[in-house]
Amino acid sequence: MTWTVTPEPYDSPVAAALWRAYYTEVSDRWYLLHEGRRTDPEELEREIAAQPGADLAPPHGRLLVARYDGEPAGTAGVRRYDGTTAELKRVFLRPPMRGRGGAPLLVRAAEDAARALGAARLILDTRGDLVEARALYARLGYTETEPHNDDKYAEHWFAKSLT
């Protein structure tokens, strides 16, 4: 079994299915933790439609899809944040694919994509309950920083030099 990571149009059926899986998981985790319920299906549809991922399209962004033995397994995206910085978005692996080395591969491919966009630094935000993500970023050399946005769900901000 082998991993591949390749660019993917943000609006492809593969990207759309992975975005839905990602958003469903992180939304359900938040609602279960804070309100004891899963995401309302109508809200899920509104949020997915409101955030299609156009900011991850060239020339200012890239969406990457990881495949495990040819099957879509996960995503990572980057988008230009400013003249020297890119932002890491939508890092996700489907649950059955976790623990097989795909997440570090995806993040490293996203770092390469950010460099190709001219970025010397990569930033990201995440939530406190996404402990697996925070551990991954720390293992890959990201350091916690001051907030770079005011996203209501962001609780931790990280950065890494790409030079």
Give the pLDDT confidence of 112-125 residue by residue, as tens digits: 999 999 999 999 99
pLDDT of res. 67: 98
Q: Which percentage of the chain shows pLDDT scores above 70? A: 100
Q: How far is CA 15 from the centre of its chain?
A: 12
Reduce the secondary structure of 56-108 to three states and give it as a string. Answer: HCCCCEEEEEEEECCEEEEEEEEEECCCCEEEEEEEEECHHHCCCCHHHHHHH
Can you give the pTM of this predicted structure? Answer: 0.93
pLDDT value of position 1: 73
- Segment 9-20 mean pLDDT: 96
Band of residue 73 on the pLDDT scale cut at 50, 70, 90: very high
For residue 126, list its beta bridge partners: 156
The crossing angle, in degrees rounded to 10, of helices 13-35 and 41-50 is: 130
CA 9 from chain centre, in angstroms, equals 15
